[in-house]
Amino acid sequence: MTGLAKKWWINRILMILFGTLFVYSGWLKARDPGVFLISIRSYQLLSDPYAAWLSLLLPWVEIFAGLAVLTGWMRRGGLLILNGLLVVFAIVLSIAWIRGLDIDCGCFGGGGKTTIVEGLIRDAVLLSLGAWLWRMNRRR
């Protein structure tokens, strides 16, 4: 297998993993928006009705952007949206950490035991991967 073919396969596998993660994360939030709403409210950044709207809208943005990455249809747009969301998630998690809030990040629908620091580390890794995928996809 040539170097170009290896890069293509690595890129393809990482696209599948990245897209699937966001489809799964969005699906967990979409199936129980009430639990996700509790997670959003715990950040104390949005009041209702904005927090409720976000709990209904954000999961579907993640699902459709993840599907774009998976299918290749509008992949660059999906990568741009997901990378942008990761930046916003990191900012919101950082604000919660600075404020000393002891909350679950809500990354996978809420109700779990993911700490803010774990969420920030996961976001950094995913943002690095997403930026690399964006860069690799731009070259084509």
How far is C-alpha 111 from the geometric centre of its chain's CA atoms? 17
- Examine the pLDDT at 110 and tell me if it is beyond 70: no
Query: How does pLDDT run across 2-36, given as a tens digit for each residue?
Result: 766 677 788 889 999 999 999 999 999 999 999 99
- Examine the pLDDT at 140 and tell me if it is beyond 60: no
- CA-based torsion, 14, 18, 20, 21: positive or negative: positive
pTM: 0.88
3-state secondary structure of 107: coil
- Examine the pLDDT at 91 and tell me if it is beyond 80: yes
Give the dihedral of Cα atoms 115, 132, 83, 12; nearest 10 deg: -100
Q: Give the whole-angstrom CA distance, residue 136 versus residue 114.
A: 30
**pLDDT average, residue stretch 108-113:** 67
Supply 6's token pair: 């290896």
How far is C-alpha 15 from the geometric centre of its chain's CA atoms? 14
Report DSSP letters for 27-58, one per residue.
Answer: HHHHH-HHHHHHHHHHTTS--TTHHHHHHHHH
Q: What percent of the chain has pLDDT over 90?
A: 64
Supply 97's token pair: 């950490």
- Number of compact structural domains in the chain: 1
**Residue 61's pLDDT band (boundaries 50, 70, 90)?**
very high
Query: How does pLDDT run across 62-76, given as a tens digit for each residue?
Result: 999 999 999 989 999
Q: ∠84-106-108 over CA atoms, to 5°?
A: 85
Residue 132 domain boundaries: 3-138
- Examine the pLDDT at 51 and tell me if it is beyond 80: yes
**pLDDT average, residue stretch 98-102:** 88
Phi first, then psi: what are they for 46, rounded to 5°?
Answer: -120, 140
